[in-house]
């Protein structure tokens, strides 16, 4: 799970590249008649996936975040998708879990539920399964028919992003600096590859020396790009440890520590480090805002038969 949000957090949500939110046509009860067992099917599949590998909750959450910023598809002969874009290459995972859920959902209500809505529900359930607060997911999204690798490269924050870059990228999507800081808390779960934090542990000066030494043991200055490290001190528990780690200068990514480095978000980070309940509540609310970023609804887009490609 490379940089946010950051968590945070890539395949499927029907989100356009426009920044304005649109919620009027979304409803928590959208499938109450057409697919009444949807929530149970998704929850059961996510329970199996997370019980098998706790990290999968973080992977699905990252997919949701990245898909809210850009639409993510496999490459085809006629379309270059986002999976091989810089922020996703060799790091985006969890697609097979979404495929499994889609198969089960379609067996119950064929060609009814979008991949976008499946991903939104799966991301919420993964957070809850690791101890996070639940939230009501507005439903009724449609899946996009287009994708853009260049958008993924330019619009998804990277692990070396500055605070100014993070704030700007979120602002471009209609999200506030506070939204950015709380959504970055998605990094309280999951693991990261050495290549995403190597520069941080060898070159940054605003880092706890003992922490840097520990991370260097499994992340050499050259080689070992795929070696994993936990993003925070409780990688299988959705809590506020991420913010406590930032205050202690133990942020794994450069972009994470930027949130607590003498800048505009120091107070928010300190607040969440001291109040876990506040973080969980604000994160849930911000996830709803994230999921409401210009969804395709009505007759726009499509309901994909295969979440990895357009119909």
Question: Per the annotation, does 232 bind a ligand?
Answer: yes
Question: Per the annotation, does 234 bind a ligand?
Answer: yes
Question: Per the annotation, does 106 bind a ligand?
Answer: no
Question: Per the annotation, does 225 bind a ligand?
Answer: no
Angle at 245 between CA 239 and CA 251, to 5 degrees: 115
Token pair in block for residue 223: 């080689």
Question: Per the annotation, does 302 bind a ligand?
Answer: no
Is the Cβ–Cβ distance between 121 and 39 less than 8 Å? Answer: yes
Q: Which of 6, 55, 66, 250 is catalytic?
A: 66
* Spacing of C-alpha 112 from chain mean position: 24
Question: Per the annotation, does 179 bind a ligand?
Answer: no
Residues in the chain: 311
Helix (H, G, I), strand (E, B), or coil: what is residue 144? coil
Question: Per the annotation, does 53 bind a ligand?
Answer: no
Q: How far is CA 289 from CA 81, 100, 174, 228, 285, in A?
A: 25, 27, 9, 31, 7
Question: Per the annotation, does 159 bind a ligand?
Answer: no
Distance CA 235, CA 230 (A): 6
Distance CA 164, CA 2 (A): 18
Q: Is 254 a catalytic residue?
A: no
Catalytically annotated residues: 66
Residues annotated as binding site for heme b?
187
Residues annotated as binding site?
67, 70, 82, 157, 187-188, 232, 234, 239
Residues annotated as binding site for Ca(2+)?
67, 70, 82, 188, 232, 234, 239
């Amino acid at each position: 799970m490379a940089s946010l949000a950051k968590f945070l957090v890539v395949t499927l949500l029907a989100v356009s590249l426009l920044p304005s939110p649109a919620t009027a046509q979304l409803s928590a009860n959208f499938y109450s008649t057409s697919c009444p067992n949807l929530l149970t099917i998704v929850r059961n599949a996510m329970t199996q996936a997370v019980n098998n590998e706790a990290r999968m909750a973080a992977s699905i959450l990252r997919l949701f975040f990245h898909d809210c910023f850009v639409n993510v598809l496999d490459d085809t002969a006629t379309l270059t998708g986002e999976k091989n874009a810089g922020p996703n290459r060799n790091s985006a995972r969890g697609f097979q879990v979404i495929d499994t859920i889609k198969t089960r959902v379609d067996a119950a209500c064929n060609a009814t539920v979008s991949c976008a809505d499946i991903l939104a529900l799966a991301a919420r359930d993964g957070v809850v399964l690791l101890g996070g607060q639940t939230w009501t997911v507005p439903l009724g999204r449609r899946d996009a028919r287009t994708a853009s690798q260049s958008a993924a490269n330019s619009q998804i924050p990277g692990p070396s992003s500055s605070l100014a870059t993070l704030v700007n990228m979120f602002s471009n999507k209609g999200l506030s600096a506070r939204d950015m800081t709380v959504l970055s808390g998605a990094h309280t779960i999951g693991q990261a590859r050495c290549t995403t934090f190597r520069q941080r542990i060898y070159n940054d000066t605003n880092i706890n020396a003992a922490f840097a030494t520990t991370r260097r043991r499994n992340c050499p200055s050259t080689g070992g790009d795929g070696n994993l490290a936990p993003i925070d001190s409780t990688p299988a528990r959705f809590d506020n440890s991420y913010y406590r780690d930032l205050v202690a200068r133990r942020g794994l990514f450069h972009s994470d520590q930027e949130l607590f480095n003498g800048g505009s978000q120091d107070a928010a980070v300190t607040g969440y480090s001291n109040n876990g309940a506040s973080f969980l509540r604000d994160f849930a609310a911000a996830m709803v805002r994230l999921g409401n970023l210009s969804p395709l609804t009505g007759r726009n887009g499509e309901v994909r038969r295969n979440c990895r490609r357009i119909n």
